[in-house]
Structure 1
Amino acid sequence: MAGPTIHRFEANGPGGKGLEDWGDIPVASLVSGTPHQNGHSYVNDETLGFKAGVWDCTAMTGKMEPYPCHEFMVVLEGSVTMIEENGRETTVKAGESFILPKGLVCQWKQPGYIRKFYVIWDDPGGAAPKDAKALKVLKPDPKGKLEPAAATAPELLLSGNPVQHSHDWFTDPTGQWSVGVWDSTAYHRKAMPFPRYELMSLLEGAVTITDDKGQVHRFKAGDSFFIEQGAVADFKTDGYVRKFYCIFQPKKAAAKSEAAE
């Protein structure tokens, strides 16, 4: 059985072989449209209620109802307008990202075909937000202001100390699932088991990762990739790097985590 690994997210699934037929969206959840969907899950842990992959779908308008999970999405093609219960509308187009918190009352209005990368956590425990009325659609600003991040421990480095910044755009009520933007000057971290599940979508720069099997993974701006918790690999930037991140760190593992990329 294969252990934890690194996935390059591709719009057409692994190796560009195409997506699996996921059937029609149930009529009961729709206002209009006869949407048909396809997808591929790179990661799917039903016990944790966590999955990540690529999905596409034809036009539809869904019902106004509470969103069933926490979800971070990177739109690859098409657009969608999210309408909140208070009438606020947010349109997200190809090349943009957005976050839907679990429990947000909203309507999905998609005028045509759409394709996206996604990271979902349905939080089986159902933790309630501190203020449900404060929930809203979030569009992280890739160029927004960042705050200084905790320094990577020197014993984990094969390079000098980098200067790093980050900003969390959303964290779920339990603190296990978060989305934000992070940047760093050049650095090289030693090979170690990765302490969390993380999708990274590179905005600037390039990254080279070598896993414990000797396979070299290279990613550049515009690429998205996912590292599974426990995957053993190093992490080397070719210079300055900036990324979106979507992190899931189950509580049972959080206490053992190192503050490292």
Structure 2
Amino acid sequence: MAGVIRLDPHNPTGEGLKIWEVIPPDWLIGPVPDQRGVKAFEHNGLCTGTWENHGGSATSNHPYPLFELMQLIDGEVTIVDAAGRKDVILAGQAFFLPQGFKCAWDMTKYYRKYFMTFHGEDYPAETDPAKLKCIRLISNPTDAELDDVSKPTDGVGTLEPHQRQNLAYESSDGRIQVGTLVSGPCEFPIKSFNRNELICVQHGTVIVTGSDHEEIFTAGESFFVPLHASVGWRSEGEFRAYFFAVWP
């Protein structure tokens, strides 16, 4: 479907994930890891797809060179900050690393993930000490952890939306946002998308529509909508999803 890109946990060609570029040797502690991946979309400093590491290595502490959201599909990985604090991420969980956060990776175990990375010349690295950390996304926020972000349907949709979100990260200019969206039944008309966004569905069903086709996404599936894609979307029941959005 033009405009919406489904991320595949293996490789949509059926060939499996391909050998990935090597991590810089001066970053590594231990052997060069066996990395494999597939890029579903890459343009203007943004890349999204599926990646896996077969373990056996770790990295030294370095400032992270880009912004990245990851949801683990399988396995386990540990992020270690400069003070030695460890965040262990397991399958089904999602986390975000801001550009500029100094951290190391313990990749001694197998893991596979959906990811979206972004680096833009006019998007500065994070400098707020409170935000320079491994940021876990909340899978199922409580009512107290959610803010209302309901938007009008421009009078076209038949289902009035009730949407709330837990914003895990927002850049100082508001152009980068990461969090968890909780939506009731809704319908939005087809229009030009005003941002790049990765969406990882955690619960329920989302139907994304184009001019002549629609795609159905359910829990455990992820998709990417590029800037200016002509899409609409709807849900007949509640759905919940992680998101990473970048505005121009």
TM-score of the two chains, using structure 1 as the length reference? 0.87
Once residues 234 and 122 of structure 2 are traced to their aligned partners in structure 1, the CA distance between those partners, rounded to angstroms, is: 36
Alignment of 1:191-202 (within 5 A): 191-202=190-201
**What residue in structure 1 maps to residue 231 of structure 2?**
233
**What residue in structure 1 maps to residue 18 of structure 2?**
20
**What residue in structure 1 maps to residue 71 of structure 2?**
74
Once residues 5 and 126 of structure 1 are traced to their aligned partners in structure 2, the CA distance between those partners, rounded to angstroms, is: 24
CA contact (8 A) 1:147 1:167 kept: yes
Residue 219, structure 1, aligned to residue 232, structure 2? no
**What residue in structure 1 maps to residue 163 of structure 2?**
164
CA contact (8 A) 1:183 1:241 kept: yes
Kindly provide the amino acid, as one letter, of the partner of residue 53 in structure 1. G
Kindly provide the amino acid, as one letter, of the partner of residue 190 in structure 1. P
**What residue in structure 1 maps to residue 154 of structure 2?**
155
Structure 1 residue 148 displacement after superposition:
3.6
**Residue in structure 2 matching 1:129, options 90, 105, 126:** 126
**Residue in structure 2 matching 1:142, options 119, 139, 142:** 139
Kindly provide the amino acid, as one letter, of the partner of residue 11 in structure 1. P
CA contact (8 A) 2:46 2:118 kept: yes
Instruction: Say which SS state the counterpart of residue 155 (structure 1) adopts.
Output: coil
Q: How many residues align?
A: 245
**What residue in structure 2 maps to residue 181 of structure 1?**
180
Instruction: Say which SS state the counterpart of residue 231 (structure 2) adopts.
Output: strand
Cα gap change, 1:121 to 1:228, in 2 (>3 Å): same
Structure 1 residue 137 displacement after superposition:
0.6
Once residues 168 and 130 of structure 2 are traced to their aligned partners in structure 1, the CA distance between those partners, rounded to angstroms, is: 17
CA contact (8 A) 1:25 1:36 kept: no
For residues 100-151 of structure 1, the C-alpha deviation after alignment (integer angstroms, 9 at most, x for no partner) is: 1111111101112221111111232362434236511111111123434333
Structure 1 residue 173 displacement after superposition:
3.4
For residues 154-209 of structure 1, the C-alpha deviation after alignment (integer angstroms, 9 at most, x for no partner) is: 42542132211112101233422211011111111111112211111111110112
CA contact (8 A) 2:131 2:169 kept: no
Kindly provide the amino acid, as one letter, of the partner of residue 51 in structure 1. C
Which range is displaced more, 80-89 or 151-160? 151-160
Once residues 28 and 191 of structure 1 are traced to their aligned partners in structure 2, the CA distance between those partners, rounded to angstroms, is: 48
Which range is displaced more, 33-42 or 139-148? 139-148
TM-score of the two chains, using structure 2 as the length reference? 0.91
Unaligned 5+ segments in structure 1 are 251-261
CA contact (8 A) 1:4 1:228 kept: no
Cα gap change, 1:232 to 1:128, in 2 (>3 Å): closer
**What residue in structure 2 maps to residue 259 of structure 1?**
none
Which range is displaced more, 216-225 or 11-20? 11-20
Structure 1 residue 78 displacement after superposition:
1.5
Structure 1 residue 4 displacement after superposition:
5.8
**Residue in structure 1 matching 2:54, options 41, 55, 58:** 58
Which range is displaced more, 17-26 or 73-82? 17-26
Structure 1 residue 219 displacement after superposition:
0.8
Once residues 40 and 95 of structure 1 are traced to their aligned partners in structure 2, the CA distance between those partners, rounded to angstroms, is: 19
**What residue in structure 2 maps to residue 256 of structure 1?**
none
Once residues 70 and 241 of structure 1 are traced to their aligned partners in structure 2, the CA distance between those partners, rounded to angstroms, is: 26
**Identical aligned residues as a percent:** 26
Unaligned 5+ segments in structure 2 are none
CA contact (8 A) 2:153 2:189 kept: no
Once residues 115 and 243 of structure 1 are traced to their aligned partners in structure 2, the CA distance between those partners, rounded to angstroms, is: 19
Instruction: Say which SS state the counterpart of residue 141 (structure 2) adopts.
Output: coil
Quote the RMSD (CA, aligned, Å): 1.9
Cα gap change, 1:144 to 1:133, in 2 (>3 Å): closer
